[in-house]
Chain A
Amino acid sequence: MVVVGADTTESIKTFEFGKAFPDRLFQLGIAEPNMISVAAGLAAAGKIPFASTYSVFGAAHTYNIIRQNVAYTNLNVKIFCSHAGLTVGPDGATQQINEDIALMRGIPRMTVLVPADGPETAKCVDAAAAMKGPVYCRFSRTNVPTVTSPEDGFTIGKARIMRDGSDVTLIGCGIMVARCIEAAALLDRDGVGARVINLSTVKPLDVAMIDRAARETGAIVTAEEHTVVHGIGGAVASAVGSSHPVPLAYIGVQDVFGESGEADELLTKYGLTAKKIAEAAMGIVKRR
């Protein structure tokens, strides 16, 4: 295993890997296209490279490099990016990418992971290293409540039921899983039983789990710290639409750019809260 970085190794902590393995961390400067292609070359010669920086640079500035040098070339490159979504906060819209899941899930051969918390991020590292082929994993800069436990199993391609219920399903990824769990508690008070699914693998999608949720609960709300265009809402809608159509609602960034503000302020302003998830659920439960 090797790590390539782009002048962000301290803030995303890959420098810790460099302390343990000084010969295996390559600092390549503010040059993300080069970073991705170097990772591809290392992979072509048998290494397992983790390319790691902020999502806006690692996934967006590098898009065609990832497409040609990683995915089309089908190499064992793991792109692990932090600072995704609105919760980057005060740095503002240029640093807050809400489009990376959309970009990455559109690329053939790409596995896309969005862990819900710290323990699950660690499992994503292990699982990505253990599988062959390109992986994109995105996570946030902000502190995230822990909702999974180190003992929980983790398999790429398998979603996980965090809480059962039969009236509606809340499907979240990343930091929104915790908010889905909160929303389920709110719904409980109103007598609505919500199932919560942690969709930590966006691609390949756990179609069986989503189909079951549609059939058993009859309504689905998706929640993501990402634009509602081509994110997990789109993925779930396309799966449900071709198997068992049910009413859907999409919580996410509504096709706009973010702005400066503290993480929680932004999540509230842009409607990414437990309250909004619960309201959306109430709305579609009535339409079942």
Chain B
Amino acid sequence: MVEVSEELIAGLKRKAVTLRKHIIRMTHNAQSGHPGGSMSACDIVTALYFHVLRVDPKNPTWPERDRFVLSKGHACPVWYAALAERGFFPVEELMTFRKLNSRLQGHPEFGTTPGVENAAGAEGQGLSFSVGLALAARMDHKAWRTYCLLGDGEQDVGQTWEAAMAASKYGLDSLTAFIDRNGIQQEGRTEDIMPLEPLAEKWEAFNWHVLTIDGHDFRQILAAIEEAQRTRGRPTAVIARTVKGKGVSFMENKIKYHGAATSDEELKLALAELEAMEAAF
């Protein structure tokens, strides 16, 4: 296993807090959007954009780049925050999120936002899209990899499993799927809405290499990515156990914050918590 330095982990933790502050501010400013699932996915997205992905903010369509596909499109605040912090567009632009004439649409639009690789919003299409990307990379003997982030609510969608079968049929080992297993979807707990467990066994039955990790532990996230990169002949599914609304105490595990912004008062409390976290580093 590759050595992961304390310094790297500390840097990623700091960056993730910055992204969480952006998510809270963007959704508060828009008074809509989906903060809960953006915050649960935040550490995975941070690890990818600030350590793993070979991308070039100056040349967002660089053909040799790694592809990140956000299948759970409602979590785009975390994507926009990461892209802005990575230099794809100015951080100030984040405050245009969900506003008229903005490049930062309520759900991702392909071709307008620098760095955005797919349109999403209707659940369940991203993994299939990623299969197409990975097939093209293999046809052209390219080294770039495809990372797809799915929600756990999206495991309800039949197309997710159509894609899972296709990826294993073609042995797409350049494809890694992260499943943001925060346990909550729009109307309630996933196990009440449509039980998913045993989820890891489902992916294993579809012939994927499956890892289950703590999706807020950077060492585990990086180790999983490294293992996925070493795995030959099969795609890897990383089931990342996460907390919806992670990082702000009163938002954690609350169904409400799937699709609700903070009030003015909550904004202050949330930012105070995140700033205290920052100061503690």
Asked whether B120 is an interface residue with its Cβ less than 8 Å from the other chain, the reply is: yes
B129 contacts A37, C-beta separation under 8 Å: yes
Question: Min CB distance, A279 to chain B, in Å?
Answer: 45
Asked whether A212 is an interface residue with its Cβ less than 8 Å from the other chain, the reply is: no
In the complex, the chain A residue whose C-beta lies closest to that of B71 is A37
B121 contacts A41, C-beta separation under 8 Å: no
Query: How many residues of chain A are within 8 Å of chain B by beta carbon?
Result: 31
Asked whether B27 is an interface residue with its Cβ less than 8 Å from the other chain, the reply is: no
B166 contacts A68, C-beta separation under 8 Å: no
In the complex, the chain B residue whose C-beta lies closest to that of A69 is B125
147-187 of chain B: CB within 8 A of chain A: 158-159, 162-163, 165-166, 170
In the complex, the chain B residue whose C-beta lies closest to that of A44 is B133
109-154 of chain B: CB within 8 A of chain A: 109-111, 117-122, 124-125, 128-137, 139-140
Of B125, B139, B140, the contact of A65 (CB 8 Å cutoff): B125
Q: A41-B129, A44-B118, A73-B118 are in contact. Are A34 and B159 (CB under 8 A)?
A: yes
A68 contacts B125, C-beta separation under 8 Å: yes
Determine the chain B residues whose CB is within 8 A of the CB of A73 once the complex forms: 110-111, 118-119
Interface string of A4-28 (1 = CB under 8 A from B): 0000000000000000000110101
Asked whether A137 is an interface residue with its Cβ less than 8 Å from the other chain, the reply is: no
Asked whether A46 is an interface residue with its Cβ less than 8 Å from the other chain, the reply is: yes
Determine the chain B residues whose CB is within 8 A of the CB of A28 once the complex forms: 162, 166
Question: Min CB distance, B168 to chain A, in Å?
Answer: 12
In the complex, the chain A residue whose C-beta lies closest to that of B107 is A68
A31 contacts B162, C-beta separation under 8 Å: yes
Determine the chain B residues whose CB is within 8 A of the CB of A75 once the complex forms: 110
Q: A44-B118, A69-B119, A73-B118 are in contact. Are A37 and B110 (CB under 8 A)?
A: no
B165 contacts A45, C-beta separation under 8 Å: no
In the complex, the chain B residue whose C-beta lies closest to that of A33 is B159
Determine the chain B residues whose CB is within 8 A of the CB of A31 once the complex forms: 159, 162, 165-166
A-B contacts at CB below 8 angstroms, number? 102
Question: Min CB distance, B107 to chain A, in Å?
Answer: 9
Question: Min CB distance, B166 to chain A, in Å?
Answer: 5
A24 contacts B162, C-beta separation under 8 Å: no
- The complex places the Cα of A12 from the Cα of B137 at a distance, in Å, of 27
Query: How many residues of chain B are within 8 Å of chain A by beta carbon?
Result: 31
Asked whether A29 is an interface residue with its Cβ less than 8 Å from the other chain, the reply is: yes
Q: A26-B135, A45-B136, A64-B122 are in contact. Are A34 and B166 (CB under 8 A)?
A: yes
A74 contacts B166, C-beta separation under 8 Å: no
Determine the chain A residues whose CB is within 8 A of the CB of B139 once the complex forms: 2, 23-24, 47
Question: Min CB distance, A278 to chain B, in Å?
Answer: 46
Determine the chain B residues whose CB is within 8 A of the CB of A43 once the complex forms: 132
Interface string of A48-60 (1 = CB under 8 A from B): 0100000000000
Determine the chain A residues whose CB is within 8 A of the CB of B120 once the complex forms: 68
Question: Min CB distance, A39 to chain B, in Å?
Answer: 6
Q: A68-B125, A73-B118, A74-B111 are in contact. Are A34 and B137 (CB under 8 A)?
A: no
Asked whether A156 is an interface residue with its Cβ less than 8 Å from the other chain, the reply is: no
Asked whether A40 is an interface residue with its Cβ less than 8 Å from the other chain, the reply is: yes
In the complex, the chain B residue whose C-beta lies closest to that of A34 is B162
B110 contacts A45, C-beta separation under 8 Å: no
In the complex, the chain A residue whose C-beta lies closest to that of B118 is A73
A41 contacts B159, C-beta separation under 8 Å: no
- The complex places the Cα of A36 from the Cα of B159 at a distance, in Å, of 11
Question: Min CB distance, B115 to chain A, in Å?
Answer: 14
The residue among A23, A33, A45, A67 with the most chain B CB atoms within 10 A of its own CB is A45
Q: A37-B159, A68-B120, A69-B125 are in contact. Are A47 and B165 (CB under 8 A)?
A: no
Asked whether A102 is an interface residue with its Cβ less than 8 Å from the other chain, the reply is: no
32-68 of chain B: CB within 8 A of chain A: 63
A68 contacts B131, C-beta separation under 8 Å: no
Question: Min CB distance, B162 to chain A, in Å?
Answer: 4
Determine the chain B residues whose CB is within 8 A of the CB of A68 once the complex forms: 119-122, 125
A72 contacts B159, C-beta separation under 8 Å: no
B130 contacts A41, C-beta separation under 8 Å: yes
The residue among B133, B137, B166 with the most chain A CB atoms within 10 A of its own CB is B166
Of B117, B128, B136, the contact of A33 (CB 8 Å cutoff): B128
* A-B CB proximity, top 7 nearest: A41-B132, A37-B128, A45-B136, A34-B162, A31-B162, A38-B132, A41-B129
Residues of B whose CB lies within 8 Å of any CB of A are: 63, 109-111, 117-122, 124-125, 128-137, 139-140, 158-159, 162-163, 165-166, 170
11 A-B pairs, CB-CB below 8 angstroms?
Answer: A34-B131, A34-B159, A37-B129, A38-B132, A40-B129, A41-B136, A42-B132, A44-B132, A45-B132, A65-B125, A69-B119
- Taking A38-B135, A65-B122, A69-B118 as given, write out 8 further A-B residue pairs in contact, using a Cβ cutoff of 8 Å, ordered by the A residue number: A29-B162, A31-B165, A34-B166, A37-B131, A44-B117, A44-B118, A45-B136, A46-B63
